[in-house]
Amino acid sequence: MAELTIDDFETEVTAFLDANAERKGETKKKDFKWGEGTDDVSIFEEVDRELEKRQLDEAKEFKAKRYDAGLGWLTGPTQYGGRELPQVYDRLYSGIESKYRVPSQTFFGIGLGMVAPTILAHATDDVKADLLPKLYRGDLVGCQLFSEPGAGSDLASLQTKAMRDGDEWIITGQKVWTSGAHYSDVGEIICRSDPDLPKHKGLTGFVVDMKAPGVEVRPLRQMTGGASFNEVFFTEVRVPDSHRLGDVNQGWSVALTTLMNERASIGAGAGGGGLGLANVDRLGQMVRHFGLGDDAVTRQELARIYTQFQVAKYTNQRALDRIKAGQAPGPEMSIAKLSLTRNLKETTEFVAQVLGPRICANTGEWGTFSWGQLLLGIPGMRVAGGTDEVMKNIIGERVLGLPKEPGIDTTSPFKDLKVGTQSR
Ligand SMILES: Cc1cc2nc3c(=O)[nH]c(=O)nc-3n(C[C@H](O)[C@H](O)[C@H](O)COP(=O)(O)OP(=O)(O)OC[C@H]3O[C@@H](n4cnc5c(N)ncnc54)[C@H](O)[C@@H]3O)c2cc1C
């Protein structure tokens, strides 16, 4: 087969997008004007369920068209619906797509960013052949069922049980903070399969059907107002052994595959793009609007924030380039995640200084109270995907080579442990 040139690919993608999406106007970022358009800078979606359902349907429709046009999984193996193109084609596609208005694809972030790579690495051939095309076509949405009320940072202390019953497993327990569980079709779950083994050794991973009998999803309302997360209860849910990920009791390495991809996905936004957080125009125009354009301290602070986002962006780019060159995402992504949350926190502290009480008392003035959504969302960002403190531990131990935290019991049977110790 003749090699696909970059020009041919660009022509193909442009033809697809011309036929299926509207091209954006020529308005550029630098044209942003204080007081015009939306002032939304929230981190978490605050949509009601009906709107969310409509947005999901639109997202799925577009995703299916993209997949059917051969553009759904550019880098994946052809046997599972991919196209086996080098990573650069992914970037090319994203670059061209950014010039078009397409439905938000955030619904697929966890399924494709974390669950699908884990399925590819650890599932049976039949499950890969069944689920991967459906996930990349958007027919199925995936979620991550890891955290429990007593197991977050200390993930290896999880207690949801998986008991073998012939060709099936019976899962019973509770997960929490499951983003998107309410619209997901499949979930990657890590369960305790042998409490007689040390805590990292008696875990097993599965892909579970979120619509199976015994799965109950209950929304959790966050302080920003929306409900993006859920508690998920499992009562004797039956999962075929064919849907096991990796070997029995080897679930910790399955979880690590997902966690490394999670940090890579979160860290990929380290420049703060997408949400317009690093948008120096927005911050700069806000400063001028409130008469602080000539204030030396404010200017210095703004320049510092901008510089930090730029440094994070380039540091992160180096790490991503290594991943794209075929190396596994490593602890460097913890640095990217930590920089992102620190920079976001400093952005909101800066905005709060400029706005004063306007950030928490709604005067109806454009571009003021709306920043409160970002301010209230930051603590969630500092916790999701590994907390700031845990990131610092990882950097200390795996990047700087400092001694491990004392007290991590890797030898006693899990059932004999009284309290968990950090291990994520
Ligand atoms: C926005 C968001 C989305 C999420 N989505 C998902 C999801 O889709 N699926 C899922 O499974 N989970 C999800 N989570 C859960 C997330 O992974 C956990 O909240 C996180 O791992 C922290 O666990 P925890 O909440 O139990 O806090 P804990 O682990 O109890 O931590 C409490 C505090 O103690 C600190 N701490 C804990 N251990 C140490 C240590 N060893 N050294 C120093 N400090 C420590 C922490 O930094 C934190 O400040 C989400 C969370 C958020 C906020």
Q: How far is the CA of 261 from the centre of ligand 1 (A)?
A: 17
Instruction: Look up residue 200 and give its two tokens.
Output: 């990292």
How far, in Å, is the centroid of ligand 1 from the Cα of 246?
A: 25
Give the ligand 1 atom nearest the CA of 155.
Answer: 21
Top mutation candidate among 145, 153, 224 for ligand 1, by most atoms within 8 Å of CB: 153
Per DSSP (E only), the strands in 221-374 are 229-240, 244-245
Token pair of 268 as six digits: 């990929």
Read off the amino acid at residue 348. T
Task: Write down the pLDDT at residue 4.
Answer: 84
Confidence of residue 28 (pLDDT cuts 50, 70, 90): low
| Cα gap 31→46, rounded to integer Å | 27
Distance of alpha carbon 330 from alpha carbon 320, whole angstroms? 10
pLDDT at 26 over 80: no
More confident residue, 23 or 222: 23
**Of 184-188, 332-336, 401-405, which range is least confident?**
332-336
Closest residue by Cα to residue 233 from 158, 141, 148 = 148
Band of pLDDT at residue 58, cut at 50, 70 and 90: very high
What tokens were used for 25?
């106007």
* Per-residue pLDDT at 1: 54
pLDDT of residue 274: 44
Distance 165 CA to ligand 1 centre (A): 32
User: Which residue is catalytic, options 148, 188, 262, 332?
Assistant: 262
- Of 57-61, 66-70, 75-79, 336-340, which gets the smallest average pLDDT? 336-340
- Residue range 197-238, pLDDT digits in tens: 999 999 999 999 999 999 999 999 888 888 888 999 999 999
Mutate to test the pocket of ligand 1, among 43, 147, 210, 260 (most ligand atoms within 8 A of CB): 147
When pLDDT is averaged across residues 279-305 and rounded to a whole number, the result is: 92
Rounded to an integer, the average pLDDT of 72-94 is: 92
Q: Active site includes 262? A: yes
Which is more confident, 55 or 381?
Answer: 55
Q: Which atom of ligand 1 is nearest to the CA of 179?
A: 8
Q: Give 140-181 as a 3 state SS string.
A: CCEEEECCECCECCCHHHCCCEEEEECCEEEEEEEECCCCCH
pLDDT digits (tens, 9 = 90+) for 234-278: 999 999 999 999 999 999 999 999 988 887 776 665 544 544 455
Residues with C-beta less than 6 Å from any ligand 1 atom = 110, 143-147, 152-154, 177-179, 229, 380, 383-384, 386-387, 389-390, 393, 405, 422
Q: Compute, in angstroms, the gap from residue 173 CA to the centroid of ligand 1.
A: 18
State the pLDDT at residue 422: 44
**What is the sign of the dihedral through the CA atoms of 392, 395, 398 and 400?**
negative
Q: What is the mean pLDDT of residues 39-65?
A: 90
Query: How far is the centre of ligand 1, averaged over its atoms, from the C-alpha of 47 (Å)?
Result: 24
Mean pLDDT of the chain: 89
Percent of the chain with pLDDT over 70: 91
CA dihedral 336, 342, 347, 351 (to 10 degrees): 160
Residue with tokens 């950014």: 98
What is residue 337's predicted lDDT score, i.e. its pLDDT?
A: 81
Q: Which atom of ligand 1 is nearest to the CA of 383?
A: 53
In ligand 1, which atom is closest to the CA atom of 151? Answer: 26
Q: Among 94, 97, 120, which Cα is nearest to 22's? A: 97
Mean pLDDT of all residues in 162-190: 97
C-beta of residue 294 within 8 angstroms of C-beta of residue 358: no
Q: Give phi and psi for 342, each to the nearest 5.
A: -65, -45
Instruction: Name the closest-CA residue to atom 16, ligand 1.
Output: 384
* Range 309-322 average pLDDT: 79
pLDDT of residue 276: 47
What share of the chain has pLDDT > 90, as a percent?
A: 65
Residue 87 has pLDDT above 90, yes or no: no
pLDDT at 128: 98
Residue 280 near residue 304 (C-beta atoms within 8 A) = no
Query: 387 alpha carbon to ligand 1 midpoint, in Å?
Result: 6
Task: For residue 149, give the ligand 1 atom closest to its CA.
Answer: 26
How far is the CA of 158 from the CAs of 14, 182, 244, 252, in angstroms?
47, 22, 17, 11
CA–centroid distance, residue 37 to ligand 1 (Å): 35
Which of 341, 383, 390 should be mutated for ligand 1, with most atoms under 8 A from CB? Answer: 383
> pLDDT tier at 416 (50, 70, 90 boundaries)?
confident
> For residues 145 and 190, what is the distance between their CA atoms, to the nearest angstrom?
7
Pick 366 or 405 by higher pLDDT.
366
For 53, what's the count of Cα atoms within 13 Å in the CB-facing half-sphere?
4
> Which of 337, 372, 366, 380 is closest to 351 using CA atoms?
372
Rounded Cα distance, 76 and 87, in Å: 10
**Would you state the pLDDT for residue 191?**
98
What average pLDDT does this structure show over 182-198?
97
Of 420 and 85, more confident: 85
Half-sphere exposure for 56 (CA within 13 Å, toward CB):
20
* Mutate which of 177, 189, 408, 419 for ligand 1 pocket (most atoms within 8 A of beta carbon): 177
Helix (H) or strand (E) holding 219: strand 215-220
E strand or H helix at 191: strand 186-192
Which amino acid residue places its CA nearest to atom 5 of ligand 1?
179
Q: Tell which atom from ligand 1 comes closest to the C-alpha of 180.
A: 8
